[in-house]
Amino acid sequence: MKRILITLTLVLTFSQIGFAQEELPVEQTVDSVVVAQQQAMELEALKQEQKEIAKAEKEMKKAEKAKKKAEKAQKKAEKALKKKEKLTNNIGKKKKGIDKSEMKIRKLQSKLAKGKSKGKMTPVDEMKINQKINKLEVTIAKDKEKLAKLQQKQ
C-alpha cells in the first residue's frame, strides 16, 4: 500500500513536471512542486493516522483481553463461593441428620425401658427395637465419618 501511494505520488509529480516543462511557464512548475510537497505531506499525515489507528486498535484489544480475564476471575470466585456455601450447607444437613438419628435412638431406648418395666414387651418386640437401635447407630457412625470428611474439605 505504501509503495503504491509513493509510486502514485512520484508519477503524478513527474508527469506534472513534464507538462510544466513543455507548456507551462516557470511559475506553474513551482506550483507543481508545491503541490507535490503538499501531497507528500498528506501522505505522511495519512501514514501517521494509520499508525494511530493501529495503536488504538491494539489498545482496544488489550482492554478487551483484560476485561475477559477479569470476568473469568469473577466467575471463578463465584464458583468457589458457591462451592463453599454448598459444603457448609451439606455439613449442616449431616449434623441435623445425626441429631435426628440420636433422638430416634433415645426414643426407642425409652420405649424399650418402659416396655420392660411394665412387662408388656415380648422378646421379639425387644429384639426388633434393639435391631432398629443398632441400625441407627451404624447410620450415625457412617454419617459422622462423612461429616468429618466434609469438615476437612472446609
pLDDT digits (tens, 9 = 90+) for 33-91: 888 888 889 999 999 999 999 999 999 999 999 999 999 999 999 999 999 999 999 99
Query: At 113, which amino acid appears?
Result: A
Tell me which long-range contacts 11-16 makes (C-beta under 8 A, separation of at least 24): 12/36, 12/39, 13/39
pTM: 0.56
Domains contained in the chain, number: 1
**Cα angle 60, 66, 72; round to 5:** 135
Give the domain extent around 115: 2-153
Residue 135's closest CA among 105, 109, 90?
Answer: 105
Cell for 85? Answer: 456455601
The three-point CA angle 77-81-87 to 5° equals 145
- DSSP code, position 25: -
Query: Is 70 exceeded by the pLDDT of residue 112?
Result: yes
